[in-house]
A and B are shown apart, each in its own frame.
Chain A
Amino acid sequence: MNKYPLWKYLVILAVIIPGFLYALPNLYGEDPALQISATRSATIDESTEQQLKNALDEKGISFHSLQRTEDGIQLRFNNTDDQLKGKAAAENELGEKYTIALNLLPATPDWMAAFNARPMYLGLDLRGGVHFLMEVDIEGATINTEKRLVSDLRSGMREKKIRYLSVSSSKNDGILVVFPDQERLAQGLITVEDDFTSLSAKEIKSDGKPALSLHLTEAAKREIKDSSVKQNMTALRNRINELGVAEPIVQQQGDNRIVVQLPGIQDTARAKEIIGRTATLEIMMVDEKNSGNIQAALEGRVPVGSRLYRDRNNRPLLLKKGIIYSGSNIIDASAGIDSRNGSSVVHITLDARGASINQRITGDNIGNRMAVVYVEQKSTIKKDDQGNVVTDENGRPVRVKSRIEEIITAPVIRDQLGKRFQIEGMDSIKEARDLSLLLRAGALAAPIEIVEERTIGPSLGKENIRTGFLSVMYGLIAIMIFMVFYYRVFGIVADIALALNLIIMVAVLSLFQATLTLPGVAGILLTVGMAVDANVLIFERIKEELRNGVTPQAAIHSGYDKALSTIVDANITTLIAAIVLFNFGTGPIKGFAITLSIGILTSMFTAIMVSRGIVNKIYGGRQIKKLAI
């Protein structure tokens, strides 16, 4: 009696061995590292790698590995001192086109990383950092669109010589176009139906005059919502790159919200400033007359009325001063395929103002180039040659404002252009997509507001890890001592099951890279407390059976048997509560729900199957007179 078949032991081993393996990476510490990624205008390839290696060798800074990954280069050091020196050297060598972030990378040995064993992913409350929840003002975006449509309608009807009395938009009631008579209204209606597909029209009377009440269609509203969220996310990603954060997260949440997580950032004021910054696009003409003599301009003799700009590959180009129109005149930019020759193109749509300027300027400039310049304001703390902060007479650090200006494209004008036109000559659809994103990022984005912020300073994060670890350790030790004291041999069995449960939980959390938060640690602790419950149920049942005069072997058997359905029932109900928590929870609470759910499932395995396996090994298949319980 009480013997487990071999396969059951094999099942147990099949869980425990991978459990140990996947929990193991958590024991290795972290390497100080640099994470180097390219900003808009640079690429990372072998030559960057070599350049970096040479620079470090030259300064005599030792590093222990250099790895090129999808997002850039990971450079690991033996200590933080080398890491900091390395950062200075890398900044010096690579310059502004690269983002260089200090980071801690898990020191998991390669053979473990090979089968995806990684340490647990710590949430912001444990590693420190900033969490922003931002809300995109869809209503604002809709109002902006309507305002633009009003001016487009006016110019559209003027173009077709349709007389109207007024075009106006009200906040909640769409756009109203009033006509002098029914005939004009009919003409207007045709224009709306042909050229303004995003509007649906209804004929009404306004003060006795025939009028059209125009509303954005549902599809158009959805389009505004989707594109304003996407547009903002793109813009946010671009800007966050510059913050030098190692593993930033930019994610859509729900309909109109964006989560931004910046681990390791402490200067939230700076983070907010950069996030809130707006990039603009300026459209200018190339100074074709003087571009033959670009060398002179490079040497400092820039012709009057022109300025020297550089493109993404650092090639110089002379542009005429004076902005023709700006990115806010661009309504949409999308990548596509030219139906005539199959090459990749970017389609651009301008608003009424942009279109009329475009028409005028391009008509006079066929054969010339038109440049799109990306402009962003940047403000940094000024440092002197020794790297010390420069302060003013009040002791405030001096901030230097600088403008990033970069030509993102300079196509030749082939024809007179209007509202819609396309840029050709892209090498690939990817290039077209990148350009359209850049063009859109500069376009008038929907207003965005921070609706939730959670910042945990790095020192508090460190402390949270320590307190979390301590509370789990002390809780575990207290329970273990109690169980051995109360149930003796069976207590030891329960303790082994409990320890294994903890290891398997850590393994599952590591394997799925679920985010571990401080409430998550509490969840682990709570399951530790509740995991012994299953064993208490079983052992109390065994004791009861013994009191009823059953033999020890039969008592073990029926104790496990009878307690089973109770344990399952009790755990399933707790699981229901945990699942509800998970579905409703945000950030930290989700972490609690995750560890609680995982803990309930793993504890059922260890407390029932593993503990039975050990008990069977100790007592099974032999004559016993007394149980140490």
Chain B
Amino acid sequence: MATMKGFHIDFLGKRKLAMGFSLLLVIISLASLATRGLSFGIDFTGGTLVEVSYQDTVAIDEVRSDLGSAGFNDAVVQYFGTAKDVMIRVPLKDDIKGAQVSEKVMLTLHEKEGEFVTDTDPVSKEQTCSADGQSRVCNVQIRRVEFVGPQVGDELAEQGGLAMLYALFGILAYVAFRFEWRFAVGSVIALVHDVVITIGIFSVFQLEFTLTVLAALLAVIGYSLNDTIVVFDRIRENFRKLRKETPVEIMNRSINQTLPRTILTSLTTLLVLVSLFIFGGDIIHNFSIALILGVVIGTYSSIYIASPSVLMLGISRENLLQVKQEGGDQQAAP
């Protein structure tokens, strides 16, 4: 029977090392963000994305040059998953209305195959084309089109940033209300740490940063905090119960006590996220990457960053006892 019992790891003793390591990661992240920046998806930059699927494998260079001669020299053409699926990205242009780019791209690709779309088969859901006077299933099938105009792109970026701030602020207020301001600040430090490093990794590896990745980041905030709160809850309980121990001892004990749970929950969450990564399809690939990164970093930060931050802010038993006197406490042992 598998079980974990009685950890006695001196987490807080290594806090300088951990803090140094984290600081390094944050600096690398910020440096990469400053120099390389993020590879923003069209959600934020505006532009057109067309995903098509060919009946047979297709040479990517040909697609690229066909599109080039149709006036899309700046189009980014890539395989998407297999050699039959192609993704085309076209930045915003001045001379052609954004919403018409996808039509022109499709027309170019169909023309190359010598076919013209006529209809959609209601059963197989495939597009039918006419070619050489015959009707057949189109060689190129449109899979997905996303077009975001410049007005919308800027707005989304702005709203996304604001949402992140609102979430952090709401959490700060709630934790300050339920615990104490040092805990609130400590948890927000850990959250900012998680978000910065996750974005940093997206920047270093130039992974595409889309609207869904942003959503994943907000979910990461929620998740990482979940972890931190569990540890904080135990710290508060132990501060009240164990009167003789120093803050460092209490924090170490609390982290050790909650460690099995921290590991188990991260593990179960990672299980589903890996399932999402493997089976969830290409569209939410980066979404699941962001979540997986976030969960790993969040777990680390709830152990090594959140509690040491609270300690450095000078927490003491009295801070928590005051709370007990003021507002009736449900937490007191029966």
Contact with A along B245-271 (1 / 0, CB 8 A): 000000000000110110011011111
On whether the beta carbons of A573 and B151 are closer than 8 Å, the reply is no
The distance in angstroms between the C-alpha atoms of A302 and B220, with both chains bound, is 74
Contact with B along A263-297 (1 / 0, CB 8 A): 00011110010000000000000000000000000
On whether the beta carbons of A462 and B171 are closer than 8 Å, the reply is no
**Would A454 and B229 be within 8 Å (CB), given that A518-B284, A576-B174 are in contact?**
no
> Across the interface, which residues of A come within 8 angstroms of B149, CB to CB?
135, 449-452
On whether the beta carbons of A457 and B174 are closer than 8 Å, the reply is no
> Across the interface, which residues of A come within 8 angstroms of B38, CB to CB?
none
Residue A151, interface by CB 8 Å: no
**Would A266 and B122 be within 8 Å (CB), given that A391-B130, A529-B268, A530-B223 are in contact?**
no
> Across the interface, which residues of A come within 8 angstroms of B1, CB to CB?
488
Residue B244, interface by CB 8 Å: no
Residue A547, interface by CB 8 Å: yes
For residue B167, give the distance in angstroms from its CB to the closest CB of chain A.
4
Residue A110, interface by CB 8 Å: no
Which listed residue (A455, A530, A565) contacts B331, Cβ 8 A? A565
Within 8 A of B (CB), among A457-495: 457-460, 462-464, 467-468, 470-472, 474-476, 478-479, 482-483, 485-486, 488
Residue B102, interface by CB 8 Å: yes
> Across the interface, which residues of B come within 8 angstroms of A482, CB to CB?
267-268, 271
> Across the interface, which residues of B come within 8 angstroms of A561, CB to CB?
334
> Across the interface, which residues of A come within 8 angstroms of B160, CB to CB?
584
On whether the beta carbons of A528 and B272 are closer than 8 Å, the reply is yes
On whether the beta carbons of A486 and B170 are closer than 8 Å, the reply is no
Which listed residue (A395, A572, A593) contacts B131, Cβ 8 A? A395
Of B261, B268, B283, the most chain A CB neighbours within 10 A belong to B268
Choose, from B56-64, B111-119, B199-207, the stretch at the interface. Answer: B111-119
Contact with B along A313-351 (1 / 0, CB 8 A): 000000000000000000000000000000000000000
Which listed residue (B133, B219, B331) contacts A577, Cβ 8 A? B219
Within 8 A of A (CB), among B288-333: 288, 291, 330-331
**Would A453 and B145 be within 8 Å (CB), given that A518-B284, A532-B268 are in contact?**
yes
Which residue on B lies nearest to A576, using beta carbons? B170
Of A525, A562, A565, A573, the most chain B CB neighbours within 10 A belong to A573
Residue A162, interface by CB 8 Å: no
Which listed residue (B53, B130, B218, B230) contacts A389, Cβ 8 A? B130
On whether the beta carbons of A381 and B118 are closer than 8 Å, the reply is yes
- 9 more A-B residue pairs beyond the given contacts A269-B117, A573-B229, with a C-beta to C-beta distance below 8 A: A128-B125, A459-B126, A474-B275, A518-B283, A525-B272, A544-B257, A570-B227, A574-B223, A584-B159
Interface residues of A (CB under 8 A from B): 80, 83-84, 102, 125, 128, 133, 135, 266-269, 272, 381, 388-389, 391, 395-397, 449-460, 462-464, 467-468, 470-472, 474-476, 478-479, 482-483, 485-486, 488, 518-519, 521-523, 525-526, 528-530, 532-533, 536-537, 540, 543-544, 547, 561-562, 565-566, 569-581, 583-586, 588-589, 592-593, 596
